[in-house]
Each structure stands twice: as structure tokens, then as C-alpha cells.
A and B are shown apart, each in its own frame.
Chain A
Amino acid sequence: MTQPGEFYQRDRSIQPPAFTPDYKTSVARSPRYSMISLQNSVSEITGPRFGHNDIDAGDNDLLTNYAKAGESPIGERIILHGRVLDENARPIPYTLVEIWQANAGGRYRHKKDTYLAPIDPNFGGCGRTLTDENGYFFFRTVKPGAYPWRNMVNNWRPAHIHVSVFGSGFVQRLITQCYFEGDPLIPICPIVQTIPDPDAVEQLTAKLDLNATVPLDSIAYKFDIVLRGRRSTLFENRLEGN
């Protein structure tokens, strides 16, 4: 059996640096010294695993997982679906995907969120699922609203869903955000702009996927997530196994 090896080095040119002064909160929260580069040991190539005992069927349906019986959240009903892949374009099966988001008015159900938009009594704003054997996942939810935030005097976040993914090694751990095709707020958002590479921003922008819609019910967006790839152990001389 092929023993998976260490992970490819993270390409920092597509990742946001720690210090991004236009996103003001990063100023005091960004380390200033260089990180120490580690070669992967067992501590890095291993990571937590999750199974069906950890989550319930329906945890991925934000249209119903907080709604009162017979009621629905307000907003545009969407399906967010895609695959979790690694940099070798291989699907990552049975990995945990967790999402959280504002409601259709742009308000989070969080005791610290005081935005004017109303709380939706039928919307919690979080969901989770495991990818299937092909790395595939889906959620049902409502499209989140844009909302203002205190950074510059008048900044607005584009509509977005926060996404947390694990992979098979602890160093693949990733939190990112899913944006939606066509949103004019994307290019002017200081948090989006922390990403130096325009292609990397495109990669976080879910595309409208008419083929995956449910007619007369929900519109769909496709969002693939890529985690770091890993080498197979070199001495096995099976580069095609990478």
C-alpha cells in the first residue's frame, strides 16, 4: 500500500500575507517575524478524521435545520455544491466541510452582531457535511446578503459564505470564503483584496450552475475547493501515484 508522504510546499504567492493594512484588523494581528519552515513530520501529515457519527443527516440543509416546522427562511433559495480536491486534482473523500453565513438581509445570528437588518427566525446560518467517496458535497441555503462593516468608513462585504475544510493532514486545514459570480462588491472588498492573485480570487467565486438548479425551487452555484496536494513516498518509485 502506498504510504502518503509530505505535502507540497504551500504557494504563498496566491495566499494572503499576514500584514494587509487596508484590512485594518490585520495590522495588530499579523506576526512580523519570518515563519520557520518545517519539513513535514508525522505531526503534519496526519490529521483528524470524521465520520457519520459526528454529524446528522440534515445538518447540510440550512433551509430546514433551524426553521420551525412548515416554515422557511426568507431569501433566494440556493444549492451550493462542489467537490473538495487536492492539488493533484484528486477528490478528497469523507472530509468535513462546515459553512456559516449571514441571512438574506446580511445579519448573522451571533450575539455580537448588531447590524440593523432583522434576524430571520427560521435561519440559523450554519451547516456541515461530509464529502462523499468522490469528494462531492452540497448544501441547501439562502443566498446571504451584503452588509456594511467597520474598516474604512463605508465598506461593504460582498455576499459570501464562510467555508472550513479539513483534508487528510493537519496542514491542509483551511478556512476560506465563497463569493458569488457577478457581485460588484467583490473587487472593492478589502478582505478579498488581501489575496494578491486575481486568479485566486476567481477560484473563490462560485459560478451560477443552471444545470444543477431545482426548477421552480432553488438556483445553484458550483464551488470547488482545492487543498494542498501530497507526494507519495519517493522510494516507492511510483510517481504516477502522486
Chain B
Amino acid sequence: MPQELAYLKESASQTAGPYVHIGLAPGAAGFDIYRQELGHDITGRNAKGERIRVEGRVIDGMGAPIKDVLLEVWQANAEGHYAHPEGGGDVEDGFRGWGRVISDFETGEWSFETVKPGTTKGRNVGTQAPHLNFWIVARGINIGLNTRMYFGDEAQANTADPVLNLIEWKHRRATLIAERSETDGLPTYRFDIQLQGENETVFFDV
């Protein structure tokens, strides 16, 4: 018998269930318990760059918005640095780059405010177009779904983006690009995520 490899196995994922709010957003479950809920402030006060709003819905295979979804966003600052030792550089005091958002129980709409990220390093060489990383959990989602949102007004950078270019079916790239409009003077990007169907959003095995 050859030697055993001594690696452990990743714990299996299980659905976050319909009551994920109790653990990760108890205020939304109907009770306040902590001094502060985490994930409400993505940028802190000192973040440079353009302030934006991102909004959308997560839509199931029957075309209905999911009303109990929780999303987390992970992003670089306006200079393209993540708040992490390997994040590419320093970030502003208070900039975390991570946010947690839940959908409205009646409409399924979610939204958050942040700053538009800069370009970031590609895997080996080159740059990635500005993007937000998303992780999506809900009842019925057995393992969190990873996707990215790109910005509709960054056409040139998007054309050169190594990840978008990996998607062989060019028409599917559009599922990751949010169009820009304006709400109350704030630039707003709309990002509806489709779990199934003709316009199924591209999800990544990362």
C-alpha cells in the first residue's frame, strides 16, 4: 500500500436555509442582538472614488424573485487594491471592501452603496476590468454561488478582461454586465441575477 496523503477534505456545504437572517442579519429577522451587524459599511468614510449604488434581484427558474436571498460582495477600492495583505496595496482607513445585503421580503429587491472599484491584477499578467465579486446563498441553494458584476460604462476594459473573455459563448458575457443609470443623482447599476433559463447568469467554479 502506498502512503496515505495527509490532506483533509473541505467540509460539505449545506443550504443557508430560509432563516439565514437570524445568524447573519438578525435585525432583518426581527430582533436586535448585537452592538453592530456586520457588512453594512463596505467602504468606510475615507474611501476615494466614485460613489455608486448597485441594485437588483435574484430570479429563480420560474421567473420569480427570490425573497429570502443573502448576498455578499467583495471588491477592491478605487485604486484596485483589496483590503488584504495580498490585496495589491494599501487601502483607505476603514475601507473593508466587503458587504452583506439581503433582499426585501416582499419584493426580492436588494441594493447597496459603495465606490466603484478600480482595475485589479490578473492571474499572472495583465489587468482585470473593474468588477464586484458576489457570493449568493439562500434556501434551495446547496452551495454558495460565485459570480462577478462588471460595469456597463467600462466597455473598453470589459473587452480586454481575461475572465469575461474566458466565456466562450459571447452572448452570455452580457449576463455579468450591469448597465448604468441614475437614481436621485447617484450613479446606479442594475444587476439582476438569473439562476436558470435562457439568460442564466454565468457562475464560476473558483
Contacts and interface: CB of A to CB of B under 8 A. Distances in A.
Given A110-B19, A228-B10, A23 B142 contact: yes
Interface string A211-227: 00000000000000111
A45 B133 CA distance: 12
B11 A87 contact: no
Contact of B8 (A31, A36, A85, A124): A85
Contacts of B145: 18, 31
B64 to A, nearest CB: 8
Point out which of A126, A164, A192 has the most chain B C-beta atoms below 10 A from its C-beta: A126
Contacts of A59: 34
B163 interface: yes
A25 B33 contact: no
Given A37-B205, A43-B82, A43-B131, A16 B11 contact: no
Interface residues on A, range: 35 or more
Point out which of B7, B68, B88 has the most chain A C-beta atoms below 10 A from its C-beta: B7
Contacts of A126: 22-23, 26, 33
B143 interface: yes
A89 B84 contact: no
Contact of A4 (B24, B74, B86): B86
Contacts of B83: 46, 48-49
A222 B57 CA distance: 38
Nearest to A55: B34
Contacts of A85: 8
Interface residues of chain B: helix, strand, loop or mixed (majority): loop
B49 interface: no
Contact of B146 (A4, A66, A171, A203): A171
B121 A41 contact: yes
Point out which of B6, B61, B121, B206 has the most chain A C-beta atoms below 10 A from its C-beta: B206
A10 B143 CA distance: 12
Given A36-B166, A85-B8, A100-B19, A54 B24 contact: no
Contacts of B10: 10-11, 14-15, 87, 174, 226-228
Given A36-B205, A65-B33, A87-B9, A41 B122 contact: yes
A27 B61 contact: yes
Interface residues of B, number: 79
B38 A200 contact: no
A29 B66 CA distance: 9
B171 interface: no
Contacts of A112: 18-19, 68, 105
Interface string A1-28: 0011001001110111110100101111
Interface string B1-30: 000001111111111111111111010011
Interface string B133-145: 1010111111111
Interface in B50-103: 60-62, 64, 66, 68, 72, 74, 76, 82-84, 86-88, 96-98
Nearest to B122: A41
A14 B87 CA distance: 30
A208 interface: no
Please name the 3 residue pairs, one residue from A and one from B, whose CB atoms are nearest each other, closest first.
Answer: A100-B23, A25-B140, A48-B98
Given A100-B20, A162-B19, 15 more contacts: A7-B206, A15-B10, A16-B12, A23-B15, A31-B195, A31-B200, A33-B203, A44-B133, A48-B83, A55-B34, A56-B34, A66-B31, A66-B33, A111-B30, A171-B146
